């Protein structure tokens, strides 16, 4: 029996994820040394990113024909808009940023390129391609969250601890695992050509993830 596609995706993206784990922005969250202005820039951009990320899941609701799948995608939209984004809202309140201020801003070029790619893949492809595009973000954050939570004091840090706890939580891990299982289920009968294309999508989005950390660290617009 062929191994699940997720194993292939994980292996293909491993070097990129390793680079993310060693990124000064990520390590700065873990040891508490990250400059707040860099984190502020990241939060503003990531908040804008999450709206488009939710739209990709919403396309899954539109494209799915199975009611159970429709509910799965709809639940993820709700989890992003009502759950993950609450971490951002909490930080925005601490930083004195209103949602109106965020929404009046513009996505950085790296951000816009990433979300445009995801939305293009989701619009032109089927559910396999759509899930491959969104899984890189979810999975890489789960990996980063768990790695930072293992650092002494990271989860208890007075400022960055909330971020670490959010992405290392059992709830976030369970949500991510359900997406991995969905990817494997949808791709169970994929041809080699399809599997290669799905891997290419996943790796591209993983590279975009690395680029997002670069953008945040350099405060690019």
Q: Which residues are catalytic?
A: 137, 209
Q: What is the DSSP string of 23-36?
A: -HHHHHHHHT-S-H
| Alpha carbon distance 174, 170 (integer Å) | 6
Q: How many residues does the chain have?
A: 221
Tokens of 46: 């990531």
Q: Which of 121, 125, 131, 142 has its CA nearest to residue 187?
A: 131
| Alpha carbon distance 213, 36 (integer Å) | 15
| Alpha carbon distance 1, 147 (integer Å) | 32
Is the distance from CB of 144 to CB of 27 less than 8 angstroms?
no
């Amino acid at each position: 029996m062929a191994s699940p596609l997720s194993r292939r995706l994980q292996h293909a993206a491993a070097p990129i994820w390793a680079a993310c784990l060693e990124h000064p922005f990520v390590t700065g969250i873990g040891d508490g040394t990250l400059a707040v202005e860099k984190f502020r820039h990241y939060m503003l951009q990531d908040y804008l990113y999450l709206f488009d990320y939710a739209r990709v899941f919403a396309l899954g609701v539109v494209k799915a024909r199975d009611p159970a799948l429709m509910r799965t995608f709809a639940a993820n939209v709700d989890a992003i808009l009502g759950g993950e984004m609450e971490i951002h809202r909490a930080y925005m309140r601490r930083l004195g940023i209103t949602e109106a201020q965020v929404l009046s801003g513009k996505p950085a070029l790296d951000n816009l390129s990433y979300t445009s790619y995801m939305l293009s893949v989701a619009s032109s492809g089927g559910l396999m391609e759509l899930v491959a595009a969104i899984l890189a973000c979810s999975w890489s954050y789960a990996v980063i969250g768990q790695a930072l939570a293992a650092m002494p004091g990271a989860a208890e840090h007075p400022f960055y601890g909330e971020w670490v706890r959010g992405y290392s939580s059992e709830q976030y891990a369970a949500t991510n695992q359900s997406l991995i299982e969905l990817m494997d289920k949808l791709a169970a009968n994929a041809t080699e050509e399809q599997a290669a294309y799905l891997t290419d999508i996943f790796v591209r989005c993983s590279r975009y993830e690395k680029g997002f950390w670069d953008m945040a660290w350099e405060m690019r617009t």
